[in-house]
Structure 1
Amino acid sequence: MDLKDKVAIVTGAASGLGNATARRLSGLGARLALVDLQAAGMSALAQETGALALACDVADGAASEAAFARILSERGSPHLLVNCAGIAPGARIVEKEGPGSLGEFERIVRVNLTGTYNWLRLAAAAMVENAPDDEGQRGVIINTASVAAYEGQIGQTAYAAAKGGVASLTLPAARELARHGIRVAAIAPGLFGTPMVEAMTQEVQDRVFEVIPFPKRPGRPDEFARMVLSIVANPMINGSVLRLDAGLRMQAR
């Protein structure tokens, strides 16, 4: 799909994977709409690219519908959605004082899974009305899963459950939207140089990076962005979750 002058929405655009993706899409001439709770993080990118920046909780139905309405009004119908918004705090099943927090589990699932589905449904409903391109495509939706969906570590039950949900919805969503010419795929990144990973202690980072086969380093956000462009460019990628992890298989801790 040629993205020049097409509307592309990136959630989680204030930093990390979403920010790098938005920059790559801007370079292709896409008309950007940036979505994130952190308005300050989007301001520089919005000024550089002329993007529409919207501060929004991606899991809030009413707020997201209002933000999406602004995108339709000020930019038009999207041809691409890249869902990068997410959080990754630790949440144990049993804490020192007793059972782990149900509220924290719900918060992590709400942002990572419900937020992804929320923007998928809004984008898909708008894409249905797009004119098809030469391949019959009306849109592409790319979600962000994680290797934790497959090899979640101790303390990642909530995060792994949420990202497992993102991975699991990929194929049925692609099947449902196929008749409209809308592709759905997901990327499952390993350890990338994002605020989530940088929040780990140096000891934890060193231990984790040691088990990465090659290259033995964290991924660069721009490498995630390049995978997004590969999915967009290749119409045969549909219904799949693509690991981007340098061969990493996460250990228990």
Structure 2
Amino acid sequence: MEIAGSVALVTGAGSGLGAATARHLSGLGARVAVLDFDLPRASHVAQEIGGLAVQADVADEPAVAAAFAQVAAAFGAPRFVVNCAGIGTAARILGREGKLSVAAFARTLQVNLLGTYTVMSHAARAMEGLAPLGPDGARGVIVNTASVAWQDGQIGQAAYAASKGGVVSMTLPAARELARFGIRVATIAPGMFETAMTDGLPPDVLATITANIPFPPRLGQAGEYAMLVEQIIRNPLLNGTTIRLDGAVRLPPR
């Protein structure tokens, strides 16, 4: 699908993978809505790219509905929606002194899984009303974000791995269901990427983290994630699938 002149909405776009995706799609000519829980961060990115800053907690369905209405009023319905919003948790099922992590598990699923589903649902409703394009009658593309932890979950990642595994499991049935509207759904499962958390790490710690990455032997860059989003949008046969973006890494148990 043609990106220039189209409307895109990216969640979690105030930083990291989402911000890189918003900048990349804007650079390709899209009008981008920058959605984030942190409005100042969203505003900073939106101002940089001439986009629209939108504040919402993706786990809050009324807030997501209001966000889509705001985007529609300003730009029109989005043809591309990229779900980058999420939280990372590290908590053992049974911690020290018998401490449980049930609340953390519930919150992680609420944001990462239910939040993705909620945004995807509103995206589908918005895209359904768009005019079909091209010989295939395409109306839109939804890209969700999982993690290699879906398959390689480490100790302490039960909640995170479960939430991302749920995102992967939704991909095919969502693509099959939305096919009748000309809407494609795909998921990216990133490996070890440069984030705000890794920026301040000493060289020896970074070396330990990257030791298991076959090639290239380094952390992924947010722009590389954004490149794959572009490729999913442009390639009409990328549908109902999950793509690992990880340099062939397989995470060890800890």
Shorter-chain-normalised TM-score: which range? over 0.9
Unpaired segments of 5 or more residues in structure 2? none
- Taking the TM superposition and a 5 Å limit, the aligned residue runs for 1:82-121 are 82-121=82-121
Cα displacement string for residues 46-103 of structure 1 (whole angstroms, at most 9, x for unaligned residues): 1122211011101101111111111111111110000000111201101113142211
Inter-partner Cα distance in structure 2 for 1:35 and 1:202: 33
For residue 54 of structure 1, what is the aligned residue in structure 2? Answer: 54
For residue 245 of structure 1, what is the aligned residue in structure 2? Answer: 246
RMSD, matched Cα: 1.4
Cα displacement string for residues 128-164 of structure 1 (whole angstroms, at most 9, x for unaligned residues): 1111111311000000010000010000000000000
Change (3 A) 1:76 1:143: same
Residues paired across the two proteins, number: 253
Unpaired segments of 5 or more residues in structure 1? none
For residue 64 of structure 2, what is the aligned residue in structure 1? Answer: 64
Identity of aligned residues (%): 53
Inter-partner Cα distance in structure 1 for 2:215 and 2:150: 21
Inter-partner Cα distance in structure 2 for 1:199 and 1:102: 30
For residue 172 of structure 2, what is the aligned residue in structure 1? Answer: 171
**3-state SS of paired residue (1:22):** helix
Change (3 A) 1:121 1:200: farther
Normalised to the residue count of structure 2, the TM-score between the two structures is 0.96
Shift of 1:198: 4.6
Shift of 1:200: 7.1
For residue 158 of structure 2, what is the aligned residue in structure 1? Answer: 157
Change (3 A) 1:90 1:201: farther
Shift of 1:207: 2.2
For residue 40 of structure 2, what is the aligned residue in structure 1? Answer: 40
Shift of 1:204: 5.2
Normalised to the residue count of structure 1, the TM-score between the two structures is 0.96
